[in-house]
Amino acid sequence: MLLAAAAFAAFVLPAQAFARDLPRKATLGIRMAPAPQGSSGVLVSQVLPGGTATAIGVRDGDLILSAGGHPVTRSNEVAAYASTLRGGDKVDLTVSRAGKQVQLKGTAKPLPFETYADDDVDYGAVPFRGGFLRDILVSPKGVTNPPVVFLIQGFSCASIESIDPGDPYRRLGEELAKRGIAYYRVEKPGLGDSVGTPACTDIDYATELDAFRVAYKHLTTARGFDPDRIFMFGHSLGGLEAPMLAAETPPRGVAVYGAVLRNWADYHLDIDREQAFLANGADPAETFAATERDRELFRRFYFARETPAQLTAGNPANADTLRNVFAWDGGNNMFGRNYKYMQDFAQLPLASAWRKTKSNVLAVYGESDIVAIDDRDHKLIADIANFYRPGSGRFVQIAKTDHPMGLVGDRSEYREKEIATGAIPQGPFNPEVAAVVADWVKQSMARPPVRLQNDRVLPPPAG
């Protein structure tokens, strides 16, 4: 309550004056993976130096069983706990180590501010619904009026900051700045240093989109960037949000990576049907049959918008499906987000948004991105842009690159690694992603986007 009161009291001050005084978030400083088959908890695949986990004695290979006194079975539950921590807070983890339970306690370490050798980093605050969202601008030194890439991040309630020097969002910014392009990020509500805002895990899609909308306006006003120098970069789920914002106030360009164009319910079915086969060679006949059995439940959830309580009332089979297929927590959350947030995706008019996006468009697909499944949606996004505004859309595929923009090998190598290790393969950030985006930004700055009407008039059919 005192923290919220401080945020509200500071609201009368300029946001930038308050920015450095936002209570600094803490970081656990770990990489996580699913527990090995037959084990419970969340596997610590790597402890990163300088974080809270190092300070309290977490080790590589530990299985986290509880965080803050609450049992955990998924990495997003550990991430949700970590997102509540501020520097100086008490930390309590229970881990399994060599078959024994070990309780680890200590004090959370604040995340250090980002620094770059050849770039300026400015931490700010965006007023949002009575509180503040943390924003960060990385600017290349010695470059006057650079274009800026505005990151619209993916699905999870995870901070845009990390002490991991290999974090893909940080690496993307480093590589763009090397190429003379500024880089802008904003936290989702309730994450990072943000204060006085709704919790990310509780909000619906409209609230999250509005946070990015407010940040976009902040970028053009307080940060001083003209929309004609702004390029949105929607990663993963951000690729569903970028065109919605661009349809309202067109930037110079919109790029997406690992995005979706098809209806989200169809995409979710496709994921359940195909991903396990693509990733680790699961029997496709079995996964296809299981998906067909779930189709009616998907219809009721996504299109009839029934609540989890309605879907599971007197139906244990539906409850099991929601837990296994939707990562349902038994309450209101699925995959770590409010179920209404999930349902909202199936209502998005994405093709219409791309029609209204009067900007240059870049659709980038990583060859080994099995989260986006394949390249069809990305090619179609570029085709739609070119249909309404000829020459404005471009599709690029980047070899051996996965959904988090890591270099992991081609699809066969990816599958072999997952089968061999039982864990999702991880690779270093592929700088080719930034190179493709930077080249497109520079070409787009030299060529204004085609500004045509929303609806293209087609010639009458022959004959």
Q: Please, what sign has the CA dihedral across residues 80, 84, 88, 90?
A: negative
Q: Which two tokens stand for residue 9?
A: 């009291």
- pLDDT tens digits for 45-96? 999 888 899 999 999 999 999 999 999 998 888 988 988 888 899 999 999 9
- Whether the per-residue pLDDT at 459 is higher than 70: the answer is no
Which residue is associated with the tokens 């959350």? Answer: 333
Output the pLDDT for position 460.
42
Read out DSSP for 85-145? -BTT-EEEEEEEETTEEEEEEEEPPBPPPP-BTTEEEEEEEEEETTEEEEEEEEEETT-SS
Residue 319: Cβ within 10 Å count:
16
* C-beta atoms surrounding 445 within 10 Å: 17
pLDDT at 334 over 70: yes
What's the whole-number mean pLDDT along residues 23-41? 87
| Global pTM value | 0.86
DSSP state of 42: E
Q: Where are the domains of the chain?
A: 26-107, 264-345
Helix (H, G, I), strand (E, B) or coil at 407: strand
Is residue 413's pLDDT more than 50? yes
User: What does the pLDDT read at residue 19?
Assistant: 54
Q: Mark residue 210 as left, alpha or beta (left: phi above 0; alpha: psi -120 to 50; beta: remaining).
A: alpha
Cα(171)–Cα(162) distance, integer angstroms: 11
pLDDT at 55: 93
Tens-digit pLDDT profile for residues 417-449: 999 988 889 999 999 999 999 999 999 999 877
> How far is 142 from 120, CA to CA, in rounded Å?
10
pLDDT at 227: 95
What is the average pLDDT across 255-272?
Answer: 96
pLDDT tens digit sequence for 115-171: 888 899 999 999 999 999 999 999 999 999 999 999 999 999 989 998 888 999 999
In this predicted structure, what is the pLDDT of residue 111?
Answer: 87
- Give tens-digit pLDDT for 291-309: 999 999 999 999 999 999 9
As given in the structure block, the two tokens for residue 64 are 């986290």
> The domain 26-107: what is its CATH number?
2.30.42.10
Element (H, E) at 296: helix 284-298
Confirm if 378 and 411 have CB atoms less than 8 A apart.
no
Q: Note the maximum CA span of the chain.
A: 80
Within 84-140, residue ranges assigned H as helices are none
Give percent of the chain with pLDDT exceeding 70. Answer: 93
Whether residue 262 has pLDDT greater than 80:
yes
The amino acid at residue 249 is T
State residue 14's pLDDT score. 43
Question: What's residue 20's pLDDT?
Answer: 54
Does residue 4 have a pLDDT over 90? Answer: no
CB atoms within 10 A of CB 422: 13
Mean pLDDT of the chain, nearest integer: 90
**Which of the 8 DSSP states describes residue 301?**
I
Query: What phi, psi does 312 have (nearest 5°)?
Result: -105, -5
- Give the CA angle between residues 133, 136, 137 to the nearest 5°: 140
Task: Tell me the C-alpha distance between 52 and 49, whole Å.
Answer: 9
The string of pLDDT tens digits covering residues 212-234 is: 999 999 999 999 999 999 999 99
Q: How many C-beta neighbours within 10 Å does residue 304 have?
A: 10
pLDDT at 256: 98
Mean pLDDT within 245-260: 96
pLDDT value of position 33: 87
Q: Return the higher-pLDDT residue of 164 and 174.
A: 174
Residue 258's closest CA among 384, 158, 369, 345?
369
Q: Work out whether strand 230-235 and strand 148-152 pair parallel, antiparallel, or are unpaired.
A: parallel
